[in-house]
Amino acid sequence: MAAPKSCALWSYCGRGWPRAMRGGQLLGLRSSWPGAPLSARLLSQEKRATETHFGFETVPEEEKGGKVYQVFESVAKKYDVMNDMMSLGIHRVWKDLLLWKMRPLPGTQLLDVAGGTGLAWVLGDAEELPFDDDKFDIYTIAFGIRNVTHIDQALQEAHRVLKPGGRFLCLEFSQVNNPLISRLYDLYSFQVIPVLGEVIAGDWKSYQYLVESIRRFPSQEEFKEMIEDAGFHKVTYESLTSGIVAIHSGFKL
């Protein structure tokens, strides 16, 4: 089920791009805020246990937070390795091409959504950006927009916060345009990537989701139309590596 909200970690760079994007991708986060289960609310204070579960392991309550933190620290450290393994290092070329298209200058007001770079960081909702209208010169998002719940709303927000003349740039997985490569890519994606996730990051399900989310993402032409529907003009795209990824560009006029 799609989450009602879509969160993203973005960076706001007020003095141009601080450095080349060399780190691993940090995908947009998706989360929901369901109410606490009835059974939990009905637990009596007297019978509340001092131990809790951590997977199948029973641990003291005061240790669980640290263990969960360690898990996410471990997964985060594998991002670069997993990206290099999955793409054979090509993801770095894709990101370099995005930077080349961006060509930020000193003083550029840049909003990098779902990214791993920048000077000032904000955690929030990509569908409800906490920034004023007409604020940024460039809005970038790499391998993150397919993870938001409502892509159309995220695109509208991108348009809102850009200045007139501002540019939208999106690097995202797309659809392979060669039938033979497409079959090989499907085989690799569904049979190899989740295994790599399990072996390297200890996380099969997240990388299974990665593959499935890629297949659910619109084609290059469909996404181009979505960007135009959000109000952007001069919308173009460039397919890279036979369409495994594409860079979409649009301007707010």
Which residues carry a binding-site annotation for S-adenosyl-L-methionine? 117, 125-126
Which residues are CB-neighbours of 234 under 8 A, at least 6 positions away? 249, 250, 251, 253
Q: What is the DSSP letter of 12?
A: E
158 CB burial (10 A radius; 0-12, 13-18, 19+): buried
Q: Is 157 left (phi over 0), alpha (psi -120 to 50) or beta?
A: alpha
Task: Extract the annotated binding site.
Answer: 117, 125-126
Which helix (H) or strand (E) is 209 found in, with range? helix 204-216
Q: Is 114 left (phi over 0), alpha (psi -120 to 50) or beta?
A: left
Residues 115-143: b if buried by 16+ CB within 10 A, e if exposed: bbbbeeeeeebbbebebeeebbbbbbbbb
Which residues are CB-neighbours of 167 under 8 A, at least 6 positions away? 102, 137, 138, 139, 249, 250, 251, 252
CA 252 from centre of chain: 23
Amino acid at 172: E
> CA angle at residue 184 from 179 to 189, to 5 degrees?
120
CA distances in angstroms from 89 to 85, 86, 187, listed in the order given: 7, 8, 19
